[in-house]
Structure 1
Amino acid sequence: MPEPHRTTRNALTRRRLLAASAGAAAALGAAGFPVLQTGSPAISRGRLRAEPLVPARNRGIILFSVRDRIGAAPDDSGVPYGFERVLARLAEIGYKEIEFAGYNQHASILGRQITPAEIRKILDDNGLVANGTHTQINAATFEQQLDIAETLGMRHIGTGSDPTGSAYRPDWDAAADLWNELGRTARKRGLKLYTHNHDAAYGFLLDAGPLDAAGRPTRSTGTRKLEYFFTKADPRYVFFEMDIYWSYVARFKHQTYVDQWGNSRTDLFDPILTVVPRTERFPLFHAKDGDRAAAQANGYVMTPLGEGDLNFQQFFEEIGAQNYHHANWEQDTAPGGAANPGQSLSFAELSYRNMSELTIYRR
């Protein structure tokens, strides 16, 4: 199997793990939140004890990262395929939790499609727990999706899409009404309903200024779409999964808006400061890394976790509640295609190893 991509510049080192972002720490302090100290001299004098920053039981993967191997037909590549073999390999690597991105594999493996009950047995046989799913969230099919989630033993049910793609408050209000209703239904069955962001969710609402021909606002108060949704979604019933990569893409892309008087305003989005005041509304995270690449439209190019420039050490330390949060590795671009069918599982192994090296020091 080909070796996974590595670069000397991006390889994790103990020094890099302890190098917290001074800018983020300063912003936290200015906002009145506690700032954890990393790399303290007391570490070397033995006064602090080292613990995994992401507890082993909370290290997960969304199967979208290895979708090529979940969906592969039996072949002679020697690379695992289908749920039984791929999940066994992920458990061997060390993953404890699985987030689903569909429940189908290649029909030729069994001569039919696998069932949720059969997937649950594979999870149990490998000591794995289903911690969530990306599925369609709508009123028509929600009870059916809850049935599948219960069969798989999930505690969370969610989607990879935003509650709405609109830039207007009334549409986000309507989405909040629906999600509050569905979240209430999920809670009755012991699950938390969550939504997952891409960068557009942290763009600015159009909620001020002159109206267009359709009677819609054309300017902004500077309110970000998903942060407005925070205020409308009931915290008892609606939760969030932050995609860390897409949040930093939002920081890169969505910095300016035009206010109601036509002035250009700058507002720098900080993913850490978004989570800290409401950390327990974020039970799940996508731990997705990226190399800085300013020439790219997104500002980053996806990489295996720990091989890019996102400071997961700083992020997971500052948001706190380490035992509550679940980190699911994702890399949309992990599959290597026919030329390298083992790439996604190689990246899964590399990313798990780097996630497990993240360390916090406590008294």
Structure 2
Amino acid sequence: MTETPLDPAARSRLTRRNILKASGAAAAAIGAAGLPVLSTSAPAIGDRGLHADELIPAKRRGIILYSVRDRISAAPDDSGIPYGFERVLARVAELGYKEVEFAGYTQHTSILGRQITPAEIRKILDDNGLVANGTHTSINPTTFTEQLDISETLGMKHIGTGSDPTNSAYTADWDAAADVWNELGRQAKRRGMKLYTHNHDAAYGFLLDEGPLDANGKPTRSSGMRKLEYFFGKADPKYVFFELDIYWAYVARFKHQKFIDKRGVERTDLFDPILNVASRGDRFPLFHAKDGNRNSALSNGYEMVPLGEGDINFQQFFETIGDADYRHANWEQDNAPGGTANPGQSLDFAAISYQNMSELTIYKRGH
């Protein structure tokens, strides 16, 4: 099964005002798995049995600071655009965000005449009513204690990375990664934190785990098992957790559809980001709410845009996976910075994305 690009008319209908609708194919797959299927129409006006709830509670709306990294790292200037942790975090809070995920702990040294400390960053968070819900840092045994110390200072309940546990296509390397992550996850739990890994599309590519061996004795074909799904079974659910990047999951749906089985036959398997999460309960405490417009002319099949301006159905996604009070949704847009031509763009996109995130609504009966 392959997906065709949306024509302009279809894309215009996939706005944040009309994202309640789900494709028939997706609804069928969700229903077959025993999960709730969204209505394809808005509730009737005047239906007094319904009330609206926030689909992503205000306290769970976050931002990864990588999206505004240009302003965190900017030197002081007279543009009026916030720079550095103190000013950028104040602006983030003003926009409505309650949580932040870190992507580094440094700013321009000219702001303080030295580098800022984690304790100073924590005070800025506290002063603005912000909570650090996680971080993208290096996860390895050599520096893990130091990273735990920083995360503890910042008040985090999760510690993670923006990289996959391994880039390998072979089970032996994922087995070895699981051994490391299980041990580090134990250490994190002792400090009151959950260790998590964040996916890109390659993590949902297919393993090479069957068929003829190559010159190095490694398999050349696939059982159809996806890399990260194999890791789910090897990583201990008590110690290792996951942050789904929703955008990259949909890129994986576009890119990683075919594999060659042990008999040399091409097979098709369409990845479903929603079922990937919904079938695994609390293993996904964090998400990157990153949007994109479908464009099959691009190698990834999507181009990043502010949240709510793309084709990804966040309404369907978050309503179906449920557990709103457990999930942390962090807005991210890798290409948000506008450079010297538009230095305020990343914070402008942060404002747009927060507004659209806040407007996601679920209708329920009763009180």
CA RMSD of aligned residues (A): 1.6
SS of residue matched to 1:240: strand
Contact preservation (8 Å) 2:304, 2:335: yes
Equivalent in the alignment of 2:134:
132
Q: Distance in 2 between matches of 1:328 and 1:11?
A: 25
2:304 pairs with 284, 302, 305, which one? 302
| Segment drifting more, 16-25 vs 162-171 | 16-25
Shift of residue 43, structure 1, vs aligned partner: 6.1
1:262 deviation in Å? 0.2
SS at match of 2:280: helix
Q: Per the alignment, in what secondary structure is the counterpart of residue 25 of structure 2?
A: helix
Question: What does residue 94 of structure 1 align with?
Answer: 96
The corresponding residue for 2:80 is 78
- Partner of 2:284 in structure 1? 282
Q: Percent identity?
A: 76
Matched, 1:182 2:176: no
| Structure 2, gaps ≥5 residues long | 1-9
Indicate conservation of the 8 Å contact 1:197/1:243, yes or no. yes
CA contact (8 A) 2:52 2:363 kept: yes
* 1:20-55 deviation per Cα after TM superposition (whole angstroms, max 9, x unaligned): 333222101112233344645456412111011000
Pair 1:354 & 2:361 matched: no
| Cα distance in 1 for residues equivalent to 2:16 and 2:234 | 42
Q: C-alpha displacement at 1:119, in angstroms?
A: 0.1
Match of 1:247 in 2: 249
Task: Give structure 1 stretches of 5+ with no counterpart.
Answer: 1-7
Change (3 A) 1:41 1:355: closer
Larger CA deviation: 163-172 vs 277-286: 277-286
Equivalent residues in 2 for 1:106-255, closer than 5 Å: 106-255=108-257
Match of 2:65 among 63, 66, 69: 63
1:223-243 deviation digits (Å, cap 9, x = unpaired): 000000000000000000000
- CA distance in structure 2 between the aligned counterparts of 1:106 and 1:313, rounded to whole angstroms: 38
- Contact 1:55–1:323 (8 Å) recurs in 2: yes
CA distance in 1 between counterparts of 2:14 and 2:55 reads 15
Partner of 1:3: none
**1:319 shift after superposition:** 0.5
Amino acid at match of 2:359: E
Normalised by the length of structure 1, the TM-score is 0.95
Q: Which secondary structure does the structure 2 equivalent of 1:338 belong to?
A: helix
1:49-82, Cα deviation, whole Å (9 max, x unpaired): 1011000000000000000000000012110000
In structure 2, the CA distance between the partners of 1:184 and 1:342, relative to structure 1 (3 Å rule), is: same
Task: Look up the SS of the partner of 1:362 in the other structure.
Answer: strand
**Letter in structure 2 aligned against 1:25:** A
CA contact (8 A) 2:14 2:310 kept: no
2:146 partner amino acid: Q
How far apart, CA to CA, are the structure 2 residues paired with 1:322 and 1:46? 24
Moved over 2 A (4+): 8-15, 20-23, 32-44
- Kept in 2, the 8 Å contact 1:10–1:309? The answer is no
State the aligned residue count.
357
Aligned CA distance change for structure 1 residues 44 and 13 (closer, same or farther; 3 Å)? farther
The CA deviation at 1:343 is 0.2
Deviations 1:258-316 (A, max 9, x none): 00000000000000010011131000000000011110000000000000100000000
**Alpha-carbon distance in 1 for matches of 2:197, 2:21:** 31
TM-score by length of 2: 0.94
C-alpha separation between the residues in 2 aligned to 1:41 and 1:68?
A: 42
Residue 265 of structure 1: aligned partner: 267
**Corresponding residue for 1:311?**
313
